[in-house]
Amino acid sequence: MKKTGILNRDIATVLSQLGHTDTIVVGDCGLPIPQHIKCIDLSIDLGTPSLVDVVRLIMKHMEVEKITMASEIKL
């Protein structure tokens, strides 16, 4: 059993398959997602985990080449 890093198997799989110029989107529960797009739902309660917490964790374990976010979000 994995004890460190990103423990969610779906997220770990997606991140391990990313290459240069590939893109992922991290959004809150209001983000419309087309049916054909893979969606990994992490919601436990409204606002938990926070979008910022998820982005920070991903950035801690990945080499991020570029990030684009709404101006209201503060990392």
CA torsion angle 45 47 52 53 (round to 10): -30
Does the annotation count 20 as an active-site position?
A: yes
Contact 42, 14 (CB under 8 A): no
- 8-state DSSP, 45: B
Active-site annotation holder among 2, 3, 20, 66: 20
- 8-state DSSP, 24: -
Give the residue numbers marked as catalytic. Answer: 20
